[in-house]
Amino acid sequence: MTGRGTPAPEYRDIPQWATRYDASEFDSFSWTADVLAFALDGARTSLRALVVVRGGEPFRGLDAWPGGFVDARSDADAHATAIRELREETGREAIDYMEELGTYGRQGRDPRQFAGFWDAGAGRWVERGTRVVSTAQLGLVRTQEGEAPPAAGDDADDARWADVYDYLPWEDLRGVRGRAAFDRARKALARWAAEGPPVRAERVERAFGVEGGRWNEELVPNRYRLLREAGLVEEARRDRWGRVASDGPDGAAFGTAMAFDHREMLADALGRLRGKQKYVPRVLQALVGDRFTLDELQDACEAVAGRPLHRANFRRLVRSVRSPLVVPTGDTRESPGPGVDPKLHAFRGEVVAARLDVALRMPWAALTSVG
């Protein structure tokens, strides 16, 4: 038994520097974790993200990623925090694939950094905020038919699967809505570029150019950051408290805003996912499952990329005689629908956990008519 004044065993043999170190000499910051979980809808034609609606300030009522503060005493790392918060805020525990997306710590990304109050007696502002840095995780989920919807919990008002392209509409060039959003964004950026140095126009053309096959679907982060820099998205017009200036362009015309810098995280995650589906078969398997038709696999690739593929060439690509990516299982899909090849396929066992030496050269359909 340890007597009063006698250190507990774990504190009896500590180095001298530890008794002198004082973290209060440095600025305070807090660590959070967010998880961006993606899934395909039942038809495998829509890419969805699991979002919560914030129940508290700041950004009450806006969509956000499930996440929260890292518990310094009990959470092993940000990954553990992300899984815990995902379970507490949405009721979901299983993630089929997860990797670290990145760390976000830009000045002012979280209004809680500036919290405090005015001390009238002292005539000064008393700071009580903390700079919040988030480590984001990218997760892939395979939803099941008949699966219960996400259940909001903890401090979330709601939890749901949302269409990724509600937030980044210009990234989906498969239909009229996305092409109109793309055209609107490109024209607005062209006006912005004309008011600045030539390098602006070069950046816009590099990110949004489609003529001559220059469209690069992986440049999602570049496109979103251009729109933010030009002041076209709502996040660009927030003050330090997260309030939106009344003047400026209609933010809704450029997608649904999210809390904090969560739409920037989404742009980074979608760009990463679009790249990885070309050389990490495990990513596609996590989305489409173990057995699928070639039409379902193509639909999944198109949903992630936001652009159409050439059907015959896609089949030749994944069934290459020299090194096939997928192989037939011998089974068929019941009631596949008109014009759909019912044969079920699976990823070749040895490639699922591998990184392809040469990335797949996706046979994209032409986009010269965009805009």
CA dihedral (94, 347, 299, 273) in degrees, to 10, reads 60
Residue ranges for the chain with pLDDT beneath 70: 1-3, 144-148, 154, 211-213, 247-252, 321, 336-337, 339, 368-371
Tokens of 364: 């994209």
CA distance 166 to 252: 10
Which residues contact residue 3 at a Cβ distance below 8 angstroms, ignoring those fewer than 6 apart? none
CA distance 282 to 61: 35
Residue 112's CB: how many other CB atoms inside 10 A? 17
Query: Using N-to-C axis directions, what is the helix angle for 220-229 and 198-208, rounded to 10°?
Result: 140
Q: Could you give the 3-state DSSP secondary structure of residue 337? A: coil
Q: What is the pTM of this model?
A: 0.91
pLDDT in the model for residue 33 = 95
Which residues contact residue 73 at a Cβ distance below 8 angstroms, ignoring those fewer than 6 apart? none
Tell me the CB-side half-sphere exposure of residue 172, using CA atoms within 13 A: 19
List the beta strands (DSSP E) in 282-337: 326-332
Burial of 213 (0-12, 13-18, 19+ CB in 10 A): exposed
Buried b (16+ CB within 10 A) or exposed e, 242-273: beeeeeeeebeebbbbbbbbbbbbbbbbbbbb
Burial of 204 (0-12, 13-18, 19+ CB in 10 A): buried
pLDDT in the model for residue 86 = 87
pLDDT in the model for residue 6 = 80
Buried b (16+ CB within 10 A) or exposed e, 313-326: ebbebbeeeeeebb
Identity of the amino acid at 104? Y
pLDDT in the model for residue 185 = 95
CA distance 140 to 142: 7
pLDDT in tens, 3-24: 677 878 877 788 888 888 887 7
pLDDT in the model for residue 247 = 66
Q: What is the CA radius of gyration of the chain?
A: 24
Q: With contact defined as beta carbons under 8 Å apart, do 273 and 326 qualify?
A: no
Distances in whole angstroms, Cα of residue 60 to Cα of each of 72, 109, 137, 155, 282: 26, 15, 23, 10, 36
Burial of 333 (0-12, 13-18, 19+ CB in 10 A): middle
pLDDT in the model for residue 145 = 61
